[in-house]
Amino acid sequence: MYIALFWLPAAGGAQTATTSADPDILYHDRANLASAKQAAAILDARLKADAANFESAWKLARVMYWLGTHDAEAAQRSDLERGVEAGRKASVLEPKRPEGYFWMAADMGALAESFGLRQGLKYRGDIKDALDTVLMLDPSFQKGSADRALGRWYFKVPGLFGGSKKKSEEHLRKSLTYDPNSIASHWFLAETLFDMDRDADARDELRKTIAAPLDPEWEPEEREFKKLAEERLKKK
C-alpha cells in the first residue's frame, strides 16, 4: 500500500461534477461504497476502450480489492475475481512494474481467506509467486507492502503447505523497516505473536497499532485495523 494522493472529502453538491470523472479521487473516497463503485466503472470502461491501459488495469485491481472486502456479500467473490483478472492483465502489460502483481496477489489473498479451503489451495502458490516478484522488482514498493503481505501469507497458510509463524514475523518486521508506523504491519504482527503464545509482545504491537498516526491515503483501512486492535486489547 501507500501511494501518495491528495485528500478530498466525500463528493457532494457542486463538487460532484468536478470530481466524479477522476477515479483516483473517487477511490480516495472509497469508504463511501458508491464512490468506489463509480471508480471501478470508470476504470473498467477505460480498460475496455484501451486494452493496453496499464494504469487502469492495476487501479481496477486495487479498487476491486476494496469492493471485494466491503461490498454486499453476494457480490464479493465476483468483485475479487474481476480484480484478479485486472491485476493479471496489468502484470502482462508491464511485467517489470510491481503494481499488477501486488494487487493481483491481494485479490487472490482475499479470495483464499474468505471462500474456503479450496480457494486457499487454488491461489496459495500464485499469491506467493506474485509477492516474490514484487520483492524482486522493488522491495520498497508501497513502503514494504510485499513483505507485509508475505508475512500475512506465512501466517495464514498451514505449515503443511509452507506456512511458518517464524517467517511471518520476519517478513512483518522487515516491512516495518520501510514504515515503522505501519498500522497494518503492527496489527498483523500482533496476530502472529499471539499465535506464537507471545502475548506480552503481541499486546505491545496492539498498542503500537492504536498509537500510530493515520496515513491519509490509507485511512479507511487503518481505522478498521485500529478498531480491531482496540477490541483485541480489551480481551484478557
pLDDT tens digits for range 219-230: 999 999 999 999
Distance CA 185, CA 168 (A): 11
Answer for the pair 179, 189: CB distance below 8 angstroms, yes or no. Answer: no
Q: Residue 64's domain is classified under what CATH number?
A: 1.25.40.10
Instruction: Identify whether 156 is part of a domain.
Output: no
Residue 2 lies in a domain: no
Burial of residue 138 (number of CB atoms within 10 Å: 0-12, 13-18, 19+): middle
* Range(s) of the domain holding residue 236: 167-236
Q: Hey, what amino acid is at 175?
A: S
Q: Kindly state the average pLDDT of the residues 39-44.
A: 97
- What confidence category does residue 183 fall into, taking pLDDT thresholds of 50, 70 and 90? very high
| Residue 161 domain-assigned (yes or no) | no
105 and 171 both lie in a single domain: no
Q: Are residues 112 and 179 in the same domain?
A: no
- pLDDT for 5: 27
Whole-structure pTM value: 0.88
One domain for residues 128 and 30: yes
Q: Is the pLDDT of residue 19 over 80?
A: no
What pLDDT does residue 84 have? 97
Cβ within 8 Å of residue 185, ≥6 positions away:
144, 148, 151, 172, 175, 176, 179
183 plus 229 within the same structural domain: yes
For the stretch 84-141, pLDDT in tens is 999 999 999 999 999 999 999 999 999 988 876 566 667 889 999 999 999 999 999 9
Residue 155 domain flag: no
Which tens digits make up the pLDDT trace of 203-213? 999 999 999 99
Last residue of a domain, one of 138, 153, 186: 138
SS3 1: coil
Quote the cell numbers at residue 116: 474456503
Phi-psi group of 215: left, alpha or beta (phi > 0 → left; psi -120 to 50 → alpha; rest → beta)? beta
SS (H, E, C) 110-173: HHHHHCHHHHHHHHHHHHHHHHHHHHHHCCCCCCCHHHHHHHHHHHHCCHHHCCCHHHHHHHHH
Q: What integer pLDDT is reported at residue 117 of this predicted model?
A: 59
- Are both 129 and 180 inside the same structural domain? no
> How far apart are alpha carbons 54 and 36 in whole angstroms?
19
Instruction: Using alpha carbons only, give the angle 51, 57, 60 rounded to the nearest 5 degrees.
Output: 130
Helices and strands (H and E) in the chain: how many = 12, 0
**Residue 15 counted as domain residue:** no
Pair 124, 193 in one domain: no
For the segment 50-55, the average pLDDT, to the nearest whole number, is: 98
